[in-house]
């Protein structure tokens, strides 16, 4: 069992980091934090990467690309998919954020899947991030927000070269936090396999 790497902006407060720390401790895994704008971490096979920063250095982007190209798995959180995210990582997520909606009640559409187990189908209080999906997107959308007649992905995953990419368009605030936590745990378990 490898390490869980949280690639972050150390100056930003993060509910995700607190949550990841608790999960890693429960699982008996080490949570390693890396500055997204610093030197490239030494990822190893079996590690799980979680990217939650709005930007990253070329060295960190290169290390992530090589890790996932070679069969690694990465989870992108909301902040890691914002407009300031490096272009190469936006391509990896197969989506880019267009805008953020204010916090409010969101109707969700949930696909029955092991990764969404425990999420439920009730509306949640969250800030919707409206993503434009790539025309080359082959992602499996697991949870989507329904806004008017359109659905926008909140949680999705797809393969990327030899690796796998998971995405959660949330910042882990609002009433959906406990429900997203279940999905986060499910994804981290899937990343171990």
Q: From residue 128, give the alpha-carbon distance in Å to each of 52, 71, 101, 120.
A: 17, 30, 5, 17
Select from 66, 75, 70 the least CA-distant residue to 7.
75
Confidence of residue 75 (pLDDT cuts 50, 70, 90): very high
User: Looking at the predicted structure, is the pLDDT value of residue 120 above 90?
Assistant: no
User: Looking at the predicted structure, is the pLDDT value of residue 176 above 80?
Assistant: no
- Domain extent listing, the chain: 4-192
Confidence of residue 184 (pLDDT cuts 50, 70, 90): very high
Confidence of residue 155 (pLDDT cuts 50, 70, 90): very high
**Would you tell me which CATH number, out of the four given (3.40.630.20, 3.40.50.880, 3.10.20.30, 3.30.70.260), belongs to the domain 4-192?**
3.40.50.880
């Amino acid at each position: 069992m490898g390490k869980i790497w949280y690639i972050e902006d150390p100056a930003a407060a993060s509910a995700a980091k607190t949550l990841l720390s608790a999960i890693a401790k429960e699982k008996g895994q080490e949570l390693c934090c890396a500055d997204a704008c610093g030197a490239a971490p030494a990822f190893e096979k079996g590690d799980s990467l979680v990217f939650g920063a709005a930007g990253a250095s070329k060295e960190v982007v290169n290390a992530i690309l090589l890790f996932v190209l070679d069969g690694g798995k990465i989870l992108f959180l909301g902040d890691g998919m914002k407009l300031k995210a490096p272009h190469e990582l936006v391509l990896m997520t197969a989506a880019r954020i267009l805008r953020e909606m204010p916090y409010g009640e969101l109707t969700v559409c949930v696909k029955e899947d092991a990764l969404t187990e425990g999420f439920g189908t009730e509306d949640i209080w969250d800030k919707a991030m409206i993503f434009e999906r790539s025309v080359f997107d082959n992602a499996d959308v697991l949870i989507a927000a329904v806004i008017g007649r359109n659905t926008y992905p909140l949680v999705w995953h797809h393969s990327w070269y030899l690796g796998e990419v998971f995405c959660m368009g949330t910042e882990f605030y609002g009433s959906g936090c406990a429900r997203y936590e279940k999905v986060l745990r499910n994804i981290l378990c899937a990343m171990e396999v």
